[in-house]
Structure 1
Amino acid sequence: MSNAQESQSPALDRVQADLAVLLPGSGSRADFVRRAFGPALDEAGIPLVAVQPDPRRLIASSLEALSQATQGGRRVLAGGVSIGAAVGVLWAAQNPHSAAGVVAALPAWTGAPDAAPAARSARHTAALLREHGIDAVIREMRASSPDWLADELEASWRDQWPALADALDEASRFGAVTDDVLSSVRVPVGIAAAPDDPVHPWEAAAQWQAHLARAHITPVTLIDAGRDPAVLGHGCLDSLRALGAL
């Protein structure tokens, strides 16, 4: 299921990053980013900064962290997981001279998020949190989630409470990554997507790939990512290697 798209633009070359600045998905945390991307980046010799966004200013604080990392002229490999990947690709479009590349694990949607499964899930969870409180919502989540996911979500949700509902709502409204924004990104983009993920559907990653100037998708599975989150980071960097960018 992997595929690639390339253009003739001379701006598209190898990733020459001074560091990677990566963002978690909505409701997730920097610790997951470290476990997901740290091993692959260590092998590639790229230092990792795993960002914990401010849940009260999810998008703004994420963009600020990326821009702050460029001080001194450093070039950044941007991206992350789900909404983190979306913010990373938006930043790369807005900062072409500072972006060295993008790694995008489990893209969730393009453009308006209204019908996207991940956005609907975030809105639903935010509403439940406001109505029932975090303890009741965690109990319900645990009853319907595999243990590895339930443990991860409980830890990250409690870390972000009581601002968690606001962060989920903000993520669910994020529509800045349009087809035109994707088409404007000139750096290589390594994508990892899971055909068995109903919340981050393969079709979303394929739409990103179709509009990006240079991108490759490596398939992973949620089962494997549950056993070892590093599967996501290895998938993204394998995609960059498939492009000849690493």
Structure 2
Amino acid sequence: MTTLIVMPGTGSDADFVTRAFSRAAESIDARVCALEPAADLVENYRARLDQLADHFASTGEPFLVGGVSIGASIAANWILQAPGARHCIGVLAALPPWSGPAGDSVAAASAQITADAIERDGLEPTIAQMVLTSPEWLAAELSRSWRSLADHGLLEQLRVASTYVGPTLTQLAALPVPVGITAAPDDPLHPIAVGRSWAQSIPHSVLREVHLTEFGRDERLLGDACLQAWQAASEKVPR
């Protein structure tokens, strides 16, 4: 049986990515393994990916890796760097946030600003302020996940994410597996230009564009689009 290992974006949790990718996984008779973020966000994800890859290498089971936002970046970087990644059959990258150093990325700045606000004002006042400026669905989702992660290193996760160095476009060009990418033309935190540049750089990749207003009402559309893109990208791989 195929396993889809997915990692949530910054400030999000395993509950969201499970919901987002479960229908897509079921459509190919796969199971979802959603990783819960820890304070040492990046290193923890990498270690757990290594452990899972070792397990699947021993069983001979195929697996995919993916995630949302920084989860997508970590998945791509891991494929490029980890010996165990050679057993992976693809990447599902939802809403890639930036390429290379974070620089002036809006998503990175948002993570830093949120961390500063939590440290300065406390969690609940920061949630209240976020609710005032966010769509209703996003406010509800982040209010839930921030509270669930508060005692599990939320502040540290945000700070680590804000300085994360993602794969460069040159590095992405070396990805050896098919990659399904989803990006949203109306998402200010994850610019559509980033998703398009990933698709132009990765040899065996396909981009599906889904509006934030669509998957905000039904997060499963995000996972569905990633899977459909990966299936189309797989057809590009020489047989």
Query: What TM-score, normalized to structure 2?
Result: 0.91
Question: 1:5 maps to which residue?
Answer: none
Contact 1:189 1:215 in 2 (8 A): yes
Aligned length: 229
2:230 partner SS:
helix
* Aligned pair partner of 2:86 in 97, 100, 116: 97
Contact 2:2 2:29 in 1 (8 A): no
Return the structure number with greater helix share.
Answer: 2
Q: What are the within-5 Å matches in structure 2 for residues 41-190 of structure 1?
A: 41-54=25-38, 56-70=39-53, 71-73=55-57, 74-95=61-82, 96-162=85-151, 163-190=153-180
Question: Within 1, Cα distance between the matches of 2:5 and 2:129?
Answer: 33
1:109 partner SS:
coil
Q: Report the RMSD for the aligned CA atoms in angstroms.
A: 1.5
Question: Within 1, Cα distance between the matches of 2:6 and 2:175?
Answer: 17
1:97 partner SS:
helix
* Aligned pair partner of 1:208 in 195, 198, 206: 198
Contact 1:69 1:76 in 2 (8 A): no
Question: 2:231 maps to which residue?
Answer: 241
Question: Within 1, Cα distance between the matches of 2:149 and 2:26?
Answer: 28
Question: Within 2, Cα distance between the matches of 1:134 and 1:173?
Answer: 21
Q: For residue 72 of structure 1, report the CA deviation from its aligned partner.
A: 4.3
Question: Within 2, Cα distance between the matches of 1:210 and 1:72?
Answer: 30
Structure 1: which 5+ residue stretches go unaligned?
A: 1-16
Query: What TM-score, normalized to structure 1?
Result: 0.89
State the one-letter code of the partner of 2:183.
A
Contact 2:3 2:30 in 1 (8 A): yes
2:173 partner SS:
helix
Structure 1 moving runs of 4+ over 4 Å: none
Contact 2:204 2:234 in 1 (8 A): no
